[in-house]
Structure 1
């Protein structure tokens, strides 16, 4: 059996460390590639870079968190290039209008102020506890996440914040999907909850989408429960 080309898109302030286990576990069935958004400041620009840098014309596409939003934008721009889609711990809505949107903006800007004043790791120590299952705060895995955050700069953080604040409504993309789609979410994900993924599944044409909960996991499911996520992605690739 020939290997599939697989693009693995990381989320906010993340890099290929998010996908280390999956790249290794899926290596027998997929040749994987993890793009880097650098300092791009819009979801569309990130998707354009993914399409430009993709090593093959057609590929399987998986996105985690913000990477899921980028993946949906890739599908919007070039659906013929995506053979199958996996969306992990992510969302589809644009920023809320009114007070709720202003609160999100203010929270993100406060974190950016901390990053600029005290450094990326100090910011991560305040931000990242909500990223994992409560039992994993201050664990070796949590340190790995802080290390990853520290590899980024405040300028990159600011660009990616702007991308998220300007995120498009991906609801129409979900409704237009025509490829096998896997939705995967940590059961205890406090940022992109399982219920949101149930809504997303309902928006996708019938029979195309599967939805799986990763038990005992927060938002960082690929790192928190790597074996479980890798097994789900293998099933998706072999569907």
Structure 2
């Protein structure tokens, strides 16, 4: 499996597909071993996709030191250099969108078009849900806590009206087949520490790259009002709403084609 030394750590990555180059940056706890992933969807069929496990996660190195959002952005830039990519479109989802903001600010020459999906700028623009405050919740307890936040339509009344689907979603969300791996908990904790300090709000006007803010109407993690603020803060940014919550990219079949159309300039 491919791994490369970049920005001082060993980064596990995968690369597949054909077409315009697309760097995909995943969210909190992202691990390419979890299927399906970006390579199985519409973006994987339309682009040459480069995706990777971020520091502290999956099969990438997990140094037990404080991580910063700048570290994550520099990891992405160094990975691009290591595989010979000078520029690419960038899609960042949730935490990956926070990294993508830093990447566009720290390494603007590397980003052609930028999609910030279900993410937040922090600071006065609004922070994402504080996952570091529920780090003690594991398995089903965590899944039950997050489900009505991830999609605000899935409240207690909805759960009672759809018991089988509710149970299925809880089981899917609670599963973590890699929970006992060495360094897994520490790396995840280090990511949450960095995430809690994320704040690009004052610098967002410096993003001079065509940008799409993609958002779910019922997202209680990256709040709708935060998406509106972010779209108004980045010069020329477009804002598009989709039918879903934090996982709108798999809930709304229109999402991936719309993102692809923006990236290729066909929107």
Once residues 141 and 84 of structure 1 are traced to their aligned partners in structure 2, the CA distance between those partners, rounded to angstroms, is 33
Question: Paired residue for 2:190?
Answer: 159
Question: Paired residue for 2:218?
Answer: 188
User: Whose RCO is larger (CA < 8 A, sep 6+)?
Assistant: 1
Once residues 95 and 202 of structure 1 are traced to their aligned partners in structure 2, the CA distance between those partners, rounded to angstroms, is 13
Structure 1 residues 28, 223: CA separation in 2 closer, same or farther (over 3 Å shift)? closer
- 1:198-218 deviation per Cα after TM superposition (whole angstroms, max 9, x unaligned): 111111213xx2111111x11
Question: Paired residue for 1:6?
Answer: 22
More helix by share: 1
Question: Paired residue for 1:108?
Answer: 132
2:146 to 122, 125, 128: 128
Is the 2:215–2:227 Cα contact (8 Å) retained in structure 1?
yes
Which has the greater radius of gyration? Answer: 2
Once residues 217 and 35 of structure 2 are traced to their aligned partners in structure 1, the CA distance between those partners, rounded to angstroms, is 18
Once residues 264 and 111 of structure 2 are traced to their aligned partners in structure 1, the CA distance between those partners, rounded to angstroms, is 15
Gaps of 5+ in 1: 115-119
Question: Paired residue for 2:47?
Answer: 30
Once residues 222 and 88 of structure 2 are traced to their aligned partners in structure 1, the CA distance between those partners, rounded to angstroms, is 25
Aligned residues: 220
2:118 to 89, 105, 118: 89
Once residues 238 and 139 of structure 1 are traced to their aligned partners in structure 2, the CA distance between those partners, rounded to angstroms, is 39
Gaps of 5+ in 2: 1-17, 57-61, 160-164
**Secondary structure of 1:124's match?**
helix
TM-score scaled to structure 2, two decimals?
0.71
- Alpha carbon RMSD of aligned pairs, Å? 2.9
Q: CA deviation at 1:95?
A: 8.7
Q: CA deviation at 1:18?
A: 8.1
